[in-house]
Amino acid sequence: MPPELRTTLLTLLGKRVQFALPLARHTSFRVGGPADAFVAPESVAELQMVLRTLHEETVPYFLLGGGTNVLVSDKGVRGVVIHLGAEFNYQRWTALGDEACVQVGAARPLGRFVRDATTKGYGGVEFAEGIPGSVGGGLLMNAGAFGGELSRVVTAITGVQADGECTRLTGAEIGFAYRRTTLPPGFIVTEVEFRLQRSAPEAIATKLLHAQRKRQATQPHGYPNAGSIFKNPPGTYAGKLIEEAGLKGLACGQAQVSEQHANFIVNKGGARAAEVKQLMEQVQRTVWEKNLVQLEPEVRLVGEW
C-alpha cells in the first residue's frame, strides 16, 4: 500500500486504522490472512471520506460485517477491508397502527434485532432467530430459513456509493434473489428499513421456539464454521445430497464436513482456508458425479486464491 494512502487513512480515522491485521479473529470460521489495511469508520461522514479517497486512488475494498458466510484466503485481502463501527449498531422504531417501521443500522447483530422485534410483539422475522452476523450482512445474502427471508420485510435500504454519495433504494430497487441481493458495484449498506406486523404473542413465541429447537437439533455447535456452505438446489437440499453421497465426516486437514449437518464445514482447530476450499471442491465433484447436481457456494470466497 502506498505510504501516501496509509498517511491519508491515518489522518481520517486515527487509531481506527490497522495495517497487516490478521482477519482470522474477525471471521466465524477463524481462518484468514491479513488485510493490507483494516478501517472502522464510526459515521456515514467518515465512511464517505474513506470511499472517496479509495475511489480517487482506485484502491479495492471489501466490507466485512460480522464475519459469517465468508471464507478469507490464507494470503489475506489486498486493498482495504472496511468494518462499520459501533455507531452503525442502532435501531429506531416508529409505530404505525398495527405495523412498525424499523430503521436498523447495518452493524446491529441480526439476532438482537429479531429478539427485540419479537419482544415488542411484531412478527415477520422469527425465522431469523439463530442466524449469525449483522443486519447488513443478512441483507446482502437475503438471509432466510424455514420458509422466510428478509426480502419479505425489507422496504428500503440506505448506503454509500463507491464515489461517496449517499443513496436510498426501495425494496423494489434492491434486486432480491435466493440468498443474494443485487446492488450497485461498491455500494455499502449503512441502514436497513423494515416493515413489521403486530402478531399474537403466542404465535410469535411458537415460531421463535421452533426456529431455536430446529437449529439446536440439526446444526453443529462447538466448532467455528461459516453457516451453510452451499445453496439449496431447486427441489432439494444441499445437505441431503452431501449426506447421501457419504461425505459426512470427510476431512481435509483440520477442515471437516460436519457429522451433524452435512451442509456445514467446521474448523476442528487450526484449519487453513485452503483446506476448507479444497474440501468444498471435493464435495462439489462427488455430488456432481453421483447426482449431476452442481452445488453453488453460499459462503463467499474473499481475498487472493
Position 299, amino acid: V
Position 292, amino acid: L
- Eight-state DSSP code of residue 69: S
Catalytic residue among 30, 108, 179, 272: 179
Position 82, amino acid: I
Say if residues 126 and 81 touch (Cβ distance below 8 Å). no
Task: Please indicate whether residue 151 is annotated as part of the active site.
Answer: no
- Spell out the residues 6+ positions from residue 186 whose beta carbon is closer than 8 angstroms to its own: 51, 55, 61, 161, 162
Catalytic residue among 193, 228, 272, 275: 228
Task: Please indicate whether residue 179 is annotated as part of the active site.
Answer: yes
What is the C-alpha separation between 110 and 98, in angstroms, rounded? Answer: 23
Instruction: Provide the sign of the torsion angle of the four alpha carbons 269, 272, 278, 283, taken in this order.
Output: positive
Task: Please indicate whether residue 215 is annotated as part of the active site.
Answer: no
Biggest distance spanned by C-alpha atoms of the chain: 59
CA count, 13 A, side-chain hemisphere, 86: 1
What is the C-alpha separation between 174 and 68, in angstroms, rounded? Answer: 22
Say if residues 198 and 98 touch (Cβ distance below 8 Å). yes
Burial of 124 (0-12, 13-18, 19+ CB in 10 A): buried
Catalytic (active-site) positions = 179, 228, 298
